[in-house]
Amino acid sequence: MFPATCEDTIGPYYPYSFTDTDRDDLTVVHPGVVLRPQGEAIELRGRVLDIDGKPAHGVLLEFWQADAQGSYRDSADPHFRGLSRIHAHDGEFRLRTIKPGAEPGRAPCITVTLFSDGFSRLVTQFFLEDTADPVLDSVPAHRRNLLVPKQIRPGVYTVDIVLSGKDETPFFEDLHETPRVHGIGPTDRTSEQRTPRERLLPIPAVGLAGFTPLHTELPALRAGENDLTRLSAGRQRAAGEAIEIIGSVRDAAGKPQAGVLVEVWNANSFGRYAHVADDHDYPLDPLFLGEGRGITGLDGGFRFWTVMPGHYIARPDINRWRPAHIHFSVRGGGSRLITQMYFDGDPYNDTDPMRVLMGADFVRQIGVPSLPSSQEVSRAFRFDIVLGRTYFEQPA
């Protein structure tokens, strides 16, 4: 068995183009299509709050649920997708969907996975009916009400997701056999505000499959999306050193994961992201958007060209800088991972909060020097991604 790649934070500069904004309404197939999924249309709305009760801006939420008949993966309803993604720019979310049916032995529920700067990933479930359920019943009695949204009027439910502190939402351990307590990144203010203080809760075996979305619909990619060094094929190159990132996606047994979407994003060569939230005064490069996508081949392989990212200061008050790094998002089949690749010998590696939290495992996050496939790039790095615990096989 191969050790899994470490999870890492999504960072504050997750690309807007990756958020699939049309996925906040699962009651329609497409705005221009009359056909609708079967079942009762409902709305789930709420806020994501930090330890001070303030909105947690920029959290990415993924919602995953069964159809109206209680089926996740073999739905008889061809018009229901079951998976939505919402970027809570202002700390609020609003999801329109179909009221899920109940799987055998379960109550109707919606799984929510959260990605944010400050922590790697959190997952929980919300129950639309306060009825017996093995997952809900496994939560300490005094916290169960936090997982049952309030129905404020017919078909409209509301719930706050509290990341940390008083009335902290119960979150579950879906990656490790032994439930963890999340570490708080030293010198990381966002981590202090958003990292749960409570231990993650174990998931009863009957509830495992409902926690990891099956990504069966991947975007149709344009030619050249894996080349971040140009805005489009044949255009002028962005400033900085052009590098190549090659690698593969495999499971813990070493099996290649084909047809998996790999998304990458990184700062430009001056250390700035082309993102509205990045207010550093480093130069913007008009030729560099800093985001790209690719789908793994039969061998699980991927390849990207980008520019060597620059450093940027994360805590001016204590002069803490972030090392050069590249963000990766992996989704497809029954797997979901967000991580970062670092570079050996970077002077800021040892003081980075995520490196401190990973400890000895950090070595697996470093790109290994490799041979470039083209003279158009000056250096190449290999970064193989190993997916940890998954609950079902990818579709053939």
User: Is 275 one of the annotated active-site residues of the chain?
Assistant: no
User: Is 89 one of the annotated active-site residues of the chain?
Assistant: no
Q: List the structure tokens of 141.
A: 């009695």
Instruction: Write out 87-148 in H/E/C secondary structure.
Output: EECCCEEEEEEECCCCCCCCCCEEEEEEEECCEEEEEEEEECCCCCCHHHHCCCHHHHHHHC
Grouping H, G, I as helix, E, B as strand and the rest as coil, residue 209 is helix
User: Which of 85, 250, 275, 327 is flagged as catalytic?
Assistant: 327
User: Which of 13, 273, 342, 348 is flagged as catalytic?
Assistant: 273
Spatial CB neighbours of 265, under 8 Å, sequence gap ≥ 6? 13, 14, 15, 18, 273, 290, 291, 292, 326, 327
Look-up of token digits 């496994």: 138
DSSP per position, 10-52: --TT--GGGS-GGGGBTT-S-TT-----SS-EEEEEEEEE-TT
Cα separation of 119 and 373, whole Å? Answer: 35
User: Which of 215, 275, 322, 331 is flagged as catalytic?
Assistant: 322
CB 100 within 8 A of CB 108: yes
User: Is 176 one of the annotated active-site residues of the chain?
Assistant: no
User: Which of 106, 215, 325, 331 is flagged as catalytic?
Assistant: 325
Running DSSP on this structure, what letter comes out for residue 309? P
CB neighbours of residue 274 within 10 Å: 18
User: Which of 13, 312, 342, 348 is flagged as catalytic?
Assistant: 312
User: Is 142 one of the annotated active-site residues of the chain?
Assistant: no
Length of the chain: 396
User: Is 215 one of the annotated active-site residues of the chain?
Assistant: no
Grouping H, G, I as helix, E, B as strand and the rest as coil, residue 193 is helix
Active site residues: 273, 312, 322, 325, 327
